[in-house]
Amino acid sequence: MKQVDKYTNKKVLVLGLALSGVSAAKLLHSLKALVTVNDYKDLDDNPAARELINEGLKVITGGHPIDLLDEDFELIVKNPGIPYSNPIVKKGIEKGIPIITEVELAYEVNESLMIGITGTNGKTTTTTMVTDILNTDRQSGRAFAAGNIGTPASQVAMKAEASDVTVLELSSFQLLGTRKLKPAISVITNLYSAHLDYHGTREEYVKAKLKITDNQDADDFFVYNADQSELAGLARQHSRAQLVPFSRKQQLEKGVYINNGIIYYNTEAVLKVEDILLPGKHNLENALAAIAVAKLLGQSNDAIKKALSAFRGVTHRTQFVCTFEDRKFYNDSKATNSLATINALEGFKEPIILLAGGLDRGVSFDELIPSMREHVKAVLAFGETADAIVETAERAGVSKTMKVVNVEQAVPEAYKLSDPNDIILLSPACASWDQYPSFEVRGNAYMESIERFIRSRQEEA
């Protein structure tokens, strides 16, 4: 970790805890900042806050009191999930207090090479692929996956050394709170409309995503999806880094592309498409992006092939759960928008029993109709959007639809509607927050329900 003294005796407010807030508070404390932590949860239900108090930090819980800003804070490190419309955040902006997210703080002290990966979909899978490839046959140091993937960036920054690589998954929420962040290699997997309830407009959402390359220069690299004309144009107009496109659909003069079933980097054959075992066109695109990063860092083709041929997916992202009585169960709880669900549906050739639904953000599910029509034989819908999901499925010509309370109830009902060789797929197309605190909790509930269901069937036999 770089030793910096800019935070010594500097009054800093860490706003919101969760993993990133705890890590940021600990890092700032180690840098001798005068840290105040403020979290909405009450202290009795807040083990993270109690942990920080035991370490000697000042912690205020039970809300976000605006008068807290009567203190002369010189910086606010904001949890990415807290919107800028929050009263205390708005007050901080009015007072001219700089507001950053934890990844910016991590960048300031990180001494390893940094790779930043963002995009509407595919961030986590691409981040994991890159990390796996870089750790395959590695001779010194290691690659760490961090950021939005679950491990706080600042936690990794405190232990990463110059021989290491930090592979950061970056959400638009995190990127919006960056100022100097400058990855050596940045990646945008794709751009679609998302999180408009947070950003307000698509333009602001795209602007936040592009912050990943804002500070890059000619010594850096920007990897992007050339099959999206909008993104390709933005790359040329916006980035000062060396551009490295990837494409699933077209042959490129440089970058990563496919020709006759072979993946090329520039003119060099890297591996066969068939060596990538994870299903779906979207996962092939994720692999192309990962290959671009690996080749930029000099990784061998053998290591790339070894890593990608062993890659079976990421938890909650089209994750194979098990096979029971010739039905295959998959967990794609991370699919929190229609596009992610479309990608999951189009990754299978077998008939699908789709489990979908969740938080109602007032969006249409019309985009799902073509994929439902082609791939789905039955739909079980739950949560606030259950009616809308069922109505969409019926317009798509899906013959069997059902509303259930939650994913736990959906599992046995899905089995009843299935036949041997069917896919039973949780791919909600919605956020989880109406019923579950996170997509991880929702996905775990689904997998635990499958386990209970199978056990009960076996006991009955």
* Distances from the Cα of 186 to the Cα of 244, 263, 300, 428, angstroms: 10, 21, 20, 29
Span 41-84, pLDDT tens digits = 999 999 999 999 999 999 999 999 999 999 999 999 999 999 99
What percent of the chain stands above pLDDT 90?
Answer: 91
Q: What is the DSSP letter of 351?
A: -
pLDDT at 278 over 90: no
C-alpha 436: how far from chain center:
17
pLDDT of res. 439: 94
| Number of residues written out for the chain | 461
Q: How far apart are CA 103 and CA 19, in angstroms?
A: 12
CATH superfamily of 11-100: NAD(P)-binding Rossmann-like Domain (3.40.50.720)
Confidence category of residue 282, pLDDT binned at 50, 70, 90 = confident
Look at strands 165-169 and 113-118 and give their pairing: parallel
- Residue 262, class by beta-carbon neighbours within 10 Å (0-12 exposed, 13-18 middle, 19+ buried)? middle
Which CATH number does 319-460 carry?
A: 3.90.190.20
What are the angstrom distances between the C-alpha of 247 and each of 120, 185, 361? 17, 18, 32
What's the average model confidence in pLDDT over 364-375?
97
Ordered by start, the domain boundaries in the chain are 11-100, 103-310, 319-460
- Minimal CA–CA distance to 159: which of 174, 178, 149, 146? 146
* Residue 5 pLDDT: 93
| Paired strand residues for 425 | 330, 354
3-state secondary structure 139-167: CCCCEEEEECCCCCHHHHHCCCCCCCEEE
Kindly indicate the confidence band of residue 183, based on its pLDDT and cuts at 50, 70 and 90.
very high
CA distance 153 to 147: 5
Asked whether 100 and 178 are in contact (CB, 8 A), the reply is yes
Convert the pLDDT of each residue in 329-349 to its tens digit: 999 999 999 989 998 999 898
Distance (Å) of CA 345 to CA 126, 340, 442 = 19, 9, 19
- What is the residue type of 172? S
The two tokens of residue 263 are 């993946």
pLDDT digits (tens, 9 = 90+) for 283-323: 999 999 999 999 999 999 999 999 999 998 888 888 889 99
For the structural domain made of 103-310, what CATH number should be given? Answer: 3.40.1190.10
Q: Which tens digit of pLDDT belongs to each residue from 192-242?
A: 888 888 899 999 999 999 999 999 999 999 999 999 999 999 999 999 999
CA–CA separation, 139 vs 26, rounded Å? 31
Q: Residue 180's CB: how many other CB atoms inside 10 A? A: 10
pLDDT at position 195, please?
Answer: 81
Q: Which two tokens stand for residue 68?
A: 């807290």
